[in-house]
């Protein structure tokens, strides 16, 4: 029984393929995939989807395993088994804004792609905020006055810097994570266990 | 008072700039913008954001006008004034799937980026379906068995064809549309009216 993996397209994809290669897997067919979204190798079937969709494919049992950023898991809290962190895709959730931003007494407006994470962060601080959900280019919001600050993932900080923004507060460290479908983990244990052990070293599978 | 426009990044952006140019506007600074998200010309300020965010910037009054696909307006129903269709960004909402797909008696599962549009479409047909919200590559869902069919925008049909899918039913024609912030339309009438008339011809503004 081959195992199937849902993989985040783009930056994390390259890092995961390099990591697979370093662990002795043959990733040739995956690197030469071109525009294909579905690739089969001798060892596994891979589908390449948006980060936000990885957990959906795993939750519905289309894929046994998934590689996805912890940011997305924190936001969507899918019903999957969160197996382990992976040593790439490192960044952090941060509250960022203009350096000169002054705290007014009024309710602050926060722009973010992560409304649930933002809600929880401010609830724990005991502050009530208005959240504006954006899909991209969140760094633009404080510049044009849509928001007082943003909650976003920060990797190198270059995007913030280019837009004259600074990190106000760090919220959470993030890495890529290996997730699994709950029943596949039991039913396909014989295929999944050796894969995970090769990926990470022995003793991970409990 | 300069007017501000929120513009969908990418394909629609190029088509809109060509259209502006054909109507006699100087779009030089907008074409040479590089990575900038905010560009000012003599006639207007433009911000370049994801389609899903255009209406947000207009609704919150950050931009007076916005150019956005009708698909997004149909899905999110923002509180903005829908001024007029524009002669580009043409495509259609369609229900698509494998040609051999057989209608079972069980509830069908539909993958889409547009859950509200899909819900309304099937409600009007009197059919109850399960909707799986995806963020991208919706055409993969029927291939790997995540869904029986998809509801998505179709332009040329190439993506469907490449994935062995066909249009089962057309739902709605779509174009790009010009939207406006409700109060800007009244308060900045003196700036907005000449812009719209130059854009479209006289007699549009009521």
- Asked if pLDDT for residue A133 goes beyond 70, the answer is yes
> Which residues, in sequence order, are bridge partners of residue B95?
B151, B169
pLDDT tens, position by position, A27-67:
888 888 888 889 988 888 999 999 999 999 999 999 999 99
Which residues of chain B are within 8 Å of residue A145 when distances are taken between CB atoms? Answer: 62
> Which residues, in sequence order, are bridge partners of residue A167?
A96
| Identity of the residue in A56, A132, A143 whose CB atom sits nearest the CB atom of B38 | A143
Helix H or strand E encompassing A187: helix A182-187
CATH superfamily for domain A91-173: Periplasmic binding protein-like II (3.40.190.10)
- Asked if pLDDT for residue A202 goes beyond 70, the answer is no
- Asked if pLDDT for residue B103 goes beyond 80, the answer is no
- Asked if pLDDT for residue B58 goes beyond 80, the answer is yes
Domain B91-172: assigned CATH number: 3.40.190.10
Using a CB–CB cutoff of 8 Å, tell me whether B42 touches chain A. Answer: no
Taking phi first (over 0 means left), then psi (-120 to 50 degrees means alpha), and beta for anything else, what does residue A125 get? alpha
Complex prediction ipTM: 0.90
Give span(s): CATH 3.40.190.10, chain A.
Answer: 3-89+175-200, 91-173
CB burial string B38-76: b at 16+ within 10 A, e below? bbeeebbbbbbbbbbbbbbbbbbebbbbbbbbbbbbbbb
Q: Tell me how far apart the alpha carbons of residues B118 and B95 are, in angstroms, rounded to a whole number.
A: 9
Three-state DSSP string of chain B: CCEEEEEECCHHHHHHHHHHHHCCCCCHHHHCCCCCCEEECCCEEEEEECHHHHHHHHHCCCCCEEEEEHHHHHHHCCCCEEEEECCCCCEEEEEEECCCCCCCCCCCEEEECCHHHHHHHHHHHCCCCEEEECCCCCCHHHHHCCCCEEEEEECCCHHHHHCCCEEEEEEEEECEEEEECHHHHHHCHHHHHHHHHHHHCCCCCC
The per-residue pLDDT for A103 is 67
The per-residue pLDDT for A102 is 64
CA–CA distance from A202 to each of A108, A206, B78 (Å)? 48, 10, 52
Mean pLDDT of chain A: 91
Using a CB–CB cutoff of 8 Å, tell me whether A102 touches chain B. Answer: no
Q: Tell me how far apart the alpha carbons of residues A165 and B145 are, in angstroms, rounded to a whole number.
A: 44
Using the beta-carbon criterion (under 8 Å), do B146 and A62 form an inter-chain contact?
Answer: yes
Q: What is the DSSP letter of A154?
A: E
Mean pLDDT of chain B: 91
pLDDT band at residue B104, thresholds of 50, 70 and 90? low
A81: helix, coil or strand?
strand
Rounded average pLDDT over B24-32: 85
Using the beta-carbon criterion (under 8 Å), do A50 and B135 form an inter-chain contact?
Answer: yes
CATH architecture of A3-89+175-200: 3-Layer(aba) Sandwich (3.40)
Give span(s): CATH 3.40.190.10, chain B.
Answer: 3-89+175-200, 91-172
Using the beta-carbon criterion (under 8 Å), do A140 and B56 form an inter-chain contact?
Answer: no
pLDDT tens, position by position, B182-206:
999 999 999 999 888 888 765 444 4
């Amino acid at each position: 029984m081959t195992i199937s993996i849902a993989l985040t397209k783009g930056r994390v994809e390259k890092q995961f393929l390099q990591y697979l290669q370093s662990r002795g897997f043959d990733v040739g067919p995956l690197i030469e995939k071109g525009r294909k979204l579905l690739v089969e190798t001798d060892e596994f079937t891979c589908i390449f989807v948006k980060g936000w969709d990885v957990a959906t494919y795993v939750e519905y049992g289309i894929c046994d395993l998934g590689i996805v950023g912890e940011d997305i898991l924190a936001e969507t809290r899918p019903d999957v088994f969160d197996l382990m962190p992976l040593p790439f895709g490192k960044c952090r959730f941060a509250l960022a804004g203009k350096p000169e931003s002054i705290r007014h007494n009024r309710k602050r407006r926060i722009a973010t792609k992560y409304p649930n994470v933002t809600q929880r962060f401010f609830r724990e601080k005991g502050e009530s905020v208005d959240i504006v959900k954006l899909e991209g280019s969140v760094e633009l919001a404080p510049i044009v006055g849509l928001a007082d600050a943003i909650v976003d993932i920060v990797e190198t900080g270059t995007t913030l810097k280019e837009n004259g923004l600074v990190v106000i507060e760090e919220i959470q460290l993030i890495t890529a994570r290996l997730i699994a479908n709950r029943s596949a983990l039991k039913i396909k244990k014989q295929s999944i266990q050796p894969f995970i052990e090769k990926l990470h070293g022995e003793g991970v599978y409990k």
